[in-house]
């Protein structure tokens, strides 16, 4: 694949409001891994009130935010961007939601008696714990993704007050090896439906798991991950190993 003939087009949703977990590091890593391979990288920001073209981007990214900011974004996401994101997902674009992002990809988030709407790209509901407790700590999960040779480990950090429950037909992103996961009980973490992926792992996620960044990059471009030219990942592998050790895996 000649690198100069392809460009990864990324749309970051609400980067001014949903960016409290070093999420800029995720975009920076994607940009650098494209650059090192001679692949173009185009980043577009879409905030409150901005229309989104479902055909103009290969990957849509939604990070996490404070409850107040997340509620502001939820209304706009539902009213303005829901239909375009459904259209983008239907044509195979990657949609990645992290922390607050996974909550907004589902049906709704219950905050006591208040219900914050999601966009329904996946079948899940999130409810804030009645006692206000949070699921916090280093976490590692085992995932199996199409096009990869066997299971892989994702490592990161979780900090969420919501308990996310998947619908009966929905499948998780992975199985919890260490940590809490979606609800602290099910043993599952995240969600994956085709190219729509949600997870609570941050810290940020992609610099700790460069292999997953490459998986997303390749999937968004519609190519086999194995076809990406290899890089010298000495530092990236060390970061991944450190995140795994922190989680006890």
For the question of residue 202 being annotated catalytic, the response is yes
CB 108 within 8 A of CB 82: no
Among the options 57, 99, 108, 180, which is catalytic? 99
Q: Which two tokens stand for residue 175?
A: 């199985």
CA-CA distance, 56 to 7, in Å (whole number)? Answer: 11
Instruction: Dump the DSSP string for 130-190.
Output: TT---EEEEEEEEE--TTSSS-EEEEEEEEESEEEEE-TT---SEEEEES-TTTSSSSEE-
Residue (of 38, 48, 43) closest to 26 by Cα position: 43
49, 76 contact by CB (below 8 A): yes
- Give the Å distances, CA to CA, from 19 to 31, 70, 166: 17, 10, 25
180 is catalytic: no
DSSP string, 51-101: ---TTS-SEEEE----HHHHHHHHHHIIIIIHHHHHHHHHTT-EEEEETHH
Catalytic residue set? 99, 202
């Amino acid at each position: 694949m000649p690198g100069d003939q392809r460009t990864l087009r990324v749309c970051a949703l609400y980067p001014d409001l949903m960016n409290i977990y070093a999420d800029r590091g995720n975009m920076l890593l994607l940009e650098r891994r494209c650059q090192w391979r001679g692949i173009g990288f185009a980043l577009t920001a879409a905030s409150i009130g901005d229309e989104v073209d479902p055909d103009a981007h290969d990957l849509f990214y939604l990070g996490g935010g404070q409850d107040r900011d997340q509620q502001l974004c939820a209304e706009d996401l539902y009213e303005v961007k829901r239909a375009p994101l459904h259209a983008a997902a239907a044509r195979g674009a990657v949609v990645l939601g992290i922390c607050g992002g996974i909550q907004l990809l589902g049906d709704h988030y219950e905050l006591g008696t208040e219900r914050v709407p999601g966009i329904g790209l996946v079948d899940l509901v999130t409810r804030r714990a009645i006692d206000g407790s949070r699921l916090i700590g280093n976490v590692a999960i085992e995932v199996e993704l199409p096009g990869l040779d066997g299971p892989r480990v994702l490592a990161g950090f979780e900090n969420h007050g919501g308990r996310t429950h998947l619908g009966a037909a929905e499948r998780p992103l992975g199985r919890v090896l260490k940590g809490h996961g979606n609800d602290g009980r099910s043993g599952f973490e995240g969600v994956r439906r085709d190219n729509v992926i949600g997870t609570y792992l941050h810290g940020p996620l992609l610099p700790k798991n460069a292999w997953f960044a490459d998986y997303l990059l390749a999937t968004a471009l519609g190519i086999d991950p194995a076809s990406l030219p290899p890089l010298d990942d000495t530092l990236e592998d060390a970061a991944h190993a450190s995140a795994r050790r922190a989680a006890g895996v």
